[in-house]
């Protein structure tokens, strides 16, 4: 559950509940309630916690045991190239899509579409 995962991540960083709470302008009691699953944090805080602990929201919320969302290295090479070329920083949308049932065939179709669009997207104004 969320509380156990939060505690695990906090302890990995060597923080007390009070120290963690101060990072988020909150109280030790509030974080104790989160860790003991007495209260659920607002999504805005969940997002900030995921950033703080450098993990995905899904990992923090125990929806996956994979600490980070999508690993760029597992994507087809053409998509990796496009991510680099277009300087895409956040690939979590691809992770979300993958978790919603995109097959290898679907991912290949996306790659083919990017490949088709490459000349258009990279055209320089003259």
- Indicate the domain borders of the chain: 2-60, 72-121
| 119 pLDDT above the threshold of 50 | yes
- Is residue 70 a contact partner of residue 94, using CB atoms and an 8 Å limit? yes
In the numeric block, which tokens belong to residue 82?
């496009």
- Is residue 29 a contact partner of residue 23, using CB atoms and an 8 Å limit? no
Q: What is the pTM of this model?
A: 0.57
User: The domain 2-60 is classified under which CATH number: 1.10.260.40, 3.40.50.300, 3.40.50.2300, 1.10.760.10?
Assistant: 1.10.260.40
**4-27: average pLDDT:** 95
**97-104: average pLDDT:** 58
22-79 tens-digit pLDDT: 999 999 999 999 999 999 999 899 989 988 988 888 889 998 887 776 556 666 676 7
- Is residue 17 a contact partner of residue 35, using CB atoms and an 8 Å limit? yes
């Amino acid at each position: 559950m969320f509380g156990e995962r939060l505690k695990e991540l906090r302890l990995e960083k060597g923080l007390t509940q009070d120290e963690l709470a101060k990072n988020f302008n909150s109280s030790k009691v509030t974080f104790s309630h989160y860790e003991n699953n007495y209260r659920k944090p607002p999504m805005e805080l969940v997002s900030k916690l995921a950033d703080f602990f450098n993990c995905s929201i899904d990992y923090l919320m125990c929806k996956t045991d994979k600490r980070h969302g999508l690993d760029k290295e597992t994507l087809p090479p053409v998509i990796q190239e496009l991510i680099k070329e277009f300087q895409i920083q956040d690939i979590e949308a691809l992770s979300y899509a993958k978790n919603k049932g995109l097959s290898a065939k679907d991912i290949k179709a996306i790659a083919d579409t990017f490949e088709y669009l490459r000349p258009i997207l990279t055209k320089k104004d003259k």
